[in-house]
């Protein structure tokens, strides 16, 4: 029987601390995110999940601890070197954060012009057109974001995060405000990003059944500390009372019990 080789980590943190004044948000967070995986961070609201993302990406300098992207320690880079390294990361915002004064095409072209400094209009239009087709929204380039449905805005937000061809894509609550059908569309898109593009996907989500269904590994963050981490099956077997209560409540009325091992 062929045994799957473990994936090496693409992102690592070690005893990561982050505070705002006297309020300690992250407390010695240590984790490893395998390359080309789907990694979910779950937990109650206000426990530091978004701060963890921003600290990993270098948008917030850590107060203590270290962050590595592949073999480079991000927390030790100069501001210019860190800025260049962040081109390897994409960020899909919770509310898509599109510019309503721009068309969809202009929104997607913006990073190409401002970050990559591309000048070739035909190349830019080709990249935008191909990506809109890939997210299954061809022909909407001339529309403005305020004319799009919530699900369409979310997908365009993901497309803008993908336009720079990152190695890691962070999703901040990708299905907030969507109905179950549209939420499933976004979760399917996350799976496609990993499967078809080979991009590591890291997501914050309150949709616990979806996390157990699509993620390879899950970290449970509580009050700035990771209290459980592992495959969906390992997390389901956690004996931590808060983890068990969170899972039990999340799966009330859901017939898909959280007992599977990864493999989405």
Confirm whether 245 is domain-assigned: yes
Q: Encode pLDDT of 31-77 as tens digits.
A: 999 999 999 999 888 888 999 999 999 889 999 999 999 989 988 88
Report the pLDDT value the prediction gives residue 260, as an integer from 0 to 100: 44
Question: Does residue 88 register a pLDDT over 50?
Answer: yes
pLDDT class for 256, splitting at 50, 70, 90?
Answer: low
CA 213 vs CA 43, 69, 239: distances in Å? 16, 26, 20
Confirm whether 51 is domain-assigned: yes
Give residue 159's region: left, alpha or beta (phi > 0; psi -120 to 50): alpha
Contact in structure between 105 and 133 (CB atoms under 8 Å): no
Confirm whether 68 is domain-assigned: no
- Looking at the structure of the chain, the number of domains it has is 1
Mean pLDDT rounded to a whole number for the chain:
89
pLDDT class for 241, splitting at 50, 70, 90?
Answer: very high
Give the mean model confidence (pLDDT) for residues 90-97: 86
Confirm whether 147 is domain-assigned: yes
Report the pLDDT value the prediction gives residue 45, as an integer from 0 to 100: 84
Domain extent, residue 196, equals: 37-58+78-250
Question: Does residue 227 register a pLDDT over 70?
Answer: yes
Report the pLDDT value the prediction gives residue 226, as an integer from 0 to 100: 95
Q: What is the CATH number of the domain that holds 193?
A: 3.40.50.300
pLDDT class for 25, splitting at 50, 70, 90?
Answer: very high
Question: Does residue 262 register a pLDDT over 50?
Answer: no
Confirm whether 174 is domain-assigned: yes
Confirm whether 192 is domain-assigned: yes
Give residue 33's region: left, alpha or beta (phi > 0; psi -120 to 50): beta
Please state, in angstroms and rounded to a whole number, the distance separating the CA atoms of residues 44 and 49: 9
**What is the secondary structure of 48-90 as a DSSP string?**
SHHHHHHHHHTSS--SEEEEEETTEEGGGS-HHHHHHHGGGEE
Token pair, residue 97, equals 């954060």
């Amino acid at each position: 029987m062929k045994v799957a080789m473990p994936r090496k980590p693409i992102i690592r943190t070690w005893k990561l601390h982050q505070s705002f004044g006297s309020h300690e948000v992250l407390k010695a967070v240590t984790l490893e995110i395998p390359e080309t995986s789907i990694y979910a961070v779950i937990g109650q609201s206000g426990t530091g999940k978004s701060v963890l993302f921003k600290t990993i990406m270098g948008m917030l300098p850590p107060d203590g601890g270290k962050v590595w992207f592949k073999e480079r320690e991000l927390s030790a880079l100069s501001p210019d070197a860190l800025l260049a390294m962040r081109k390897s990361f994409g960020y899909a915002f919770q509310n898509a954060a599109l510019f309503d004064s721009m068309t969809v095409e202009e929104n997607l072209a913006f990073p190409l012009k401002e970050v990559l400094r591309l000048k070739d209009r035909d190349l830019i239009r080709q990249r935008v057109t191909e990506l809109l087709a890939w997210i299954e929204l061809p022909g909407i380039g001339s529309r403005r974001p305020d004319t799009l449905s919530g699900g369409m805005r979310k997908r365009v937000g993901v497309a803008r995060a993908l336009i720079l061809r990152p190695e890691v894509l962070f999703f901040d609550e990708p299905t907030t405000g969507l109905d179950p059908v549209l939420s499933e569309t976004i979760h399917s898109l996350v799976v496609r990003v990993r499967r078809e593009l080979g991009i590591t996907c890291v997501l914050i989500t309150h949709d616990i059944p979806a996390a157990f269904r699509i993620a390879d590994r899950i970290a449970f963050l509580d009050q700035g500390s990771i209290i459980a981490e592992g495959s969906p099956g390992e997390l389901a077997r956690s004996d931590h009372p808060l983890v068990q209560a969170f899972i039990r409540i999340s799966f009330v009325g859901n017939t898909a019990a959280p007992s599977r091992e990864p493999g989405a």
